[in-house]
Amino acid sequence: MSFPTGYVFNEERIAAATSRMESAGFQVSFEQDRPQLRGWWEKRKSQGITAILAQDDEFKLFGEYREPNSQHRGTCVGQGSSRAIEDVHTSRVVDKAIVDPKRRVLISYEAMYAFERKLHFGQTHQWGCQCGRCPDGLQGMDAAAFYATKGVLQRMNYEQAGIDLSQPHEELAIQWNNSGVPEVLIAAAAFHKIQCHRSSTWDEFADAIAAKHWGHVCLQGVFQGGHIDRFGCCEPDNVGPNWGHDTECCGVVELPSGETAFVMQQSWGNAIKYPGFVQTKSNQIKLRPSSYAVRKSVLQSLGTQIELISCDIPSGSSFR
């Protein structure tokens, strides 16, 4: 495979990140923190709704779709999580939960990635090192803990610090592994805290996504569009611990068969050609670039070494 993935399931690290969040006063479980949304997807289906997609709000607000992220290192946890937060912000504006100008809020993942990597691994060596602790990657809950306790950085030029994050800079994320994230950026992130939850089942996660708590999925498999069913859904092309990956989850749909499918968006740019559509119970939907659908049953077959994380913007954030 020509693309780095950057995710290996690690229960101890997940538990440590969860503990950090709980110690800071956050309820990590989506079901426990959002009991009013239990069964939300089934409720929406009973109302005749067969698709809930982040791309609909994006197009409604901007009249176009932004190009997908273009990952070249194993920074997928940063790529998928930051894109989910961007979509949450867009949906909250569309739904009038945030009074904000018609503008895109883009999220920088570089500080989060470097901070969490340094926290877990200390100083790392040059790319390609085989020492056992240098390969790229994070846990999904590492990102959740950072965004909830430290905050997120908007993409902009932090002129006073002499740091331009207006564009993605993967190598900067790698460099800060060793030198540390500048404190001025950690201070700036504190203005924008994000609520992150982990779901324990795909059904619970469907409720989160149906409520527009867009999220990201870490699992032991990758989808490259090589195997597609009649509804446009993808099956994994590679499965197992060497194929761990994190991808934004930006939609949930009901297929003609009545089964639930999730819509993902890859962070490999336009390098992979996906079907470009999904057939729902009511109509065929064209998906935004680098997006694809996967049946819930297929995702369940990949095992329990997964992280299903959804995002929201809490009332105390200046995003609101």
* Domain-located, residue 300: yes
Residue 292 has pLDDT above 60, yes or no: yes
Counting runs of H as helices and runs of E as strands, what totals does the chain give? 11, 15
Separation CA 55–CA 61 (nearest Å): 10
pLDDT score for 1? 40
- Packing angle, helices 110-121 and 170-179, rounded to 10: 40
Q: What is the mean pLDDT of residues 1-23?
A: 85
Q: Cβ distance 153 to 189 under 8 Å?
A: yes
Confidence of residue 126 (pLDDT cuts 50, 70, 90): low
Q: What is the mean pLDDT of residues 65-88?
A: 94
Residue 2 has pLDDT above 60, yes or no: no
* Domain-located, residue 5: no
Residue 304 has pLDDT above 70, yes or no: yes
Distance of alpha carbon 49 from the chain centroid? 24
pLDDT score for 242? 82
Residue 100 has pLDDT above 90, yes or no: no
pLDDT score for 109? 97
Give SS3 for 29: strand
126 token code pair:
């040059």
pLDDT score for 130? 59
pLDDT score for 4? 60
Domain span at residue 213 reads 11-312
pLDDT score for 317? 67
Q: How many CA atoms lie within 13 A of 279 on its CB side?
A: 10
Confidence of residue 132 (pLDDT cuts 50, 70, 90): low
* Domain-located, residue 25: yes
Residue 250 has pLDDT above 90, yes or no: yes
Residue 133 has pLDDT above 80, yes or no: no
* Domain-located, residue 4: no
Residue 311 host element (H or E):
strand 307-312
pLDDT score for 103? 78
Residue 3 has pLDDT above 70, yes or no: no
Total domains in the fold of the chain: 1
* Domain-located, residue 28: yes
pLDDT score for 277? 98
Q: For residues 200-212, b (16+ Cβ closer than 10 Å) or e, as one string? A: eebbbbbbbbbbb
pLDDT score for 178? 80
223 token code pair:
């989808």
Q: What is the mean pLDDT of the chain?
A: 92
- At 140-190, the pLDDT tens digits run 999 999 999 999 999 999 998 899 999 999 988 888 888 889 999 999 999
- Residue 97, domain CATH: 3.90.70.10
| Percent of the chain residues topping a pLDDT of 90 | 78
* Domain-located, residue 240: yes
Residue 209 has pLDDT above 60, yes or no: yes
* Domain-located, residue 221: yes
79 token code pair:
């790529």
- At 263-284, the pLDDT tens digits run 999 999 988 889 999 999 999 9
* Domain-located, residue 72: yes
| Percent of the chain residues topping a pLDDT of 70 | 92
